[in-house]
Amino acid sequence: MKVPFNRPAVAGNELEYIQEAIKRGQLSGDGYFTKECHRWLEKEVGCKKALLTHSCTAALEMAAILADIQPGDEVIMPSYTFVSTANAFVLRGGIPVFVDIRPDTMNIDEYLIETAITEKTRAIIPVHYAGVSCEMDTIMQLAKKYNLLVIEDAAQGIMSKYKGRPLGSIGHMAAFSFHETKNISCGEGGALLINDSLYIDRAEIIREKGTNRSKFFRGEVDKYTWVDIGSSYLPGEMNAAFLYAQMENASKITDRRLQIWDLYFKGLEPLAVENSVELPFIPDYCVHNAHMFYIKVKNQVERASLIKYLKAHKVNSVFHYIPLHSSEKGRSYLFKAGEKDYTNRESERLLRLPLYYDLGKEKAEKVIKLIFEYFTGK
């Protein structure tokens, strides 16, 4: 019985909607299904405007343009994140300032952010790791105090909440990912969410290659033309059709993943009590989406050994990001670690277990059994 790390979910009318998109005769972006996805996001998240993009990377790049990042502007973010979080701003000439994480949630340490703010700081990018929210009240208060933008990297955060508010609805802007490893997927895709009306008109223009094409199709101008910088950020309509079918089943997909997450947590709890492993921590202010289940082991050597053991028994487990500040490119930027460097230590201990929509109880229990065998020898 092989257990892959990930399998994309097919939970409803994905194939039927792709066929319908073909019959409708528009396969380029902003067709019927794209508009349905926009409506779903605006209702579910409560943002003022949602715009599908071909990736979360594209959404972050749009956010960097909207934030008017100029060469030399500083942007505060965790080092423990995917490279797109930094690249989107570096492409505009921005300078990432990396801040250490909390060891409990793996999110940016909200109490270290203020020490990283300078007169050059323009924005804060909280990354909601594993669909578990950053401490957003503190972050938004700092942003107000220093007149900074907050752009939520909610790539992993769809269907998660912070104090009752959906992730993606709290910052000035936010980005979602619909990559095949995410809970709600279309293979490759993303969305820019806008909560400040000031950015809506320009976002449409940037997304449409710098033209006012959207206004033209709404009848607001008699022709469309090049009015600003931009690029081609639209996804194709077949991607949107697949995605909308997933959105219709978002609650079902999330509930199934939460069942698997709970099975792992309860099954591995005895090992946590014995301090063999550490399990994920979910703060009281969070409702998470079971985007991932990870354990933390003693160190990098033990993690490599456990990965090898699981692989020998046909279970694929993986570690996650290499911290950006320790990468070849990232070493040229500042890392504010505070008194303790949790980013390096915790990232070297973390191991992600298989978690996907149709994993099933039998396969999850196999993973649990193997981990017990590894640590107990029986």
Average pLDDT value over all residues in the chain:
96
Ranges 94-108, 221-235, 270-284, 325-339: which has the least confidence: 325-339
Percent of the chain with pLDDT over 90: 93
Q: Taking residues 1-21, what's their average pLDDT?
A: 95
Q: State the residue for tokens 């022709």.
A: 223
* C-alpha distance from residue 294 to each of 23, 73, 329 (Å): 43, 35, 27
Question: Which of 3, 8, 2 has its CA nearest to residue 356?
Answer: 8
Model confidence pLDDT, tens digit, residues 250-282 = 999 999 999 999 999 999 999 999 999 999 999
| Amino acid at residue number 234 | L
Q: What's the rounded Cα separation, in Å, for the pair 58 and 239?
A: 15
On the question of pLDDT at 378 being above 80, the answer is no
The pLDDT of residue 10: 94
Structural domain boundaries in the chain? 14-248, 250-376
CB-based contact 65:229 (threshold 8 Å)? yes
Q: State the residue for tokens 């942003």.
A: 143
Alpha-carbon torsion (159, 160, 163, 165), positive or negative? negative
Can you list the alpha helix ranges (DSSP code H) found in the chain? Answer: 14-24, 32-45, 56-66, 83-90, 113-116, 136-146, 200-207, 213-217, 237-248, 250-273, 300-312, 342-347, 361-376
The pLDDT of residue 320: 87
Query: Does the domain at residues 14-248 carry the CATH identifier 1.10.1740.10?
Result: no
| Amino acid at residue number 317 | S
Indicate the pLDDT class of residue 173, thresholds 50, 70 and 90.
Answer: very high
The pLDDT of residue 64: 98
The pLDDT of residue 1: 79
Q: Taking residues 144-173, what's their average pLDDT?
A: 98
On the question of pLDDT at 338 being above 80, the answer is no
Ranges 3-7, 89-93, 320-324: which has the least confidence: 320-324
Question: Which of 213, 191, 181 has its CA nearest to residue 5?
Answer: 181
| Amino acid at residue number 307 | I
Q: What's the rounded Cα separation, in Å, for the pair 16 and 163?
A: 37
Q: What's the rounded Cα separation, in Å, for the pair 192 and 179?
A: 14
Torsion of CA 150, 129, 10, 353, to 10 degrees: 170
Model confidence pLDDT, tens digit, residues 274-312 = 999 999 999 999 999 999 999 999 999 999 999 999 999
pTM (2 decimals)? 0.96
- Which pairing describes strands 165-166 and 161-162: parallel, antiparallel, or unpaired? antiparallel
Q: What's the rounded Cα separation, in Å, for the pair 372 and 326?
A: 33
Question: CATH number of the domain at 250-376, out of 2.40.160.20, 3.90.70.10, 3.90.1150.10, 3.30.70.1230?
Answer: 3.90.1150.10
On the question of pLDDT at 337 being above 80, the answer is no
The pLDDT of residue 60: 98
Indicate the pLDDT class of residue 218, thresholds 50, 70 and 90.
Answer: confident
CB-based contact 330:267 (threshold 8 Å)? no
Ranges 48-52, 89-93, 120-124, 337-341: which has the least confidence: 337-341
Q: What is the DSSP string of 51-82?
A: EEES-HHHHHHHHHHHTT--TT-EEEEESSS-
Indicate the pLDDT class of residue 340, thresholds 50, 70 and 90.
Answer: confident
Q: What's the rounded Cα separation, in Å, for the pair 310 and 319?
A: 13
Q: What's the rounded Cα separation, in Å, for the pair 367 and 294?
A: 12
Q: State the residue for tokens 């279970």.
A: 315
Q: What's the rounded Cα separation, in Å, for the pair 376 and 378?
A: 5
Q: What is the DSSP string of 340-358?
A: S-HHHHHHTTEEEEP--TT
Q: What's the rounded Cα separation, in Å, for the pair 304 and 169?
A: 38
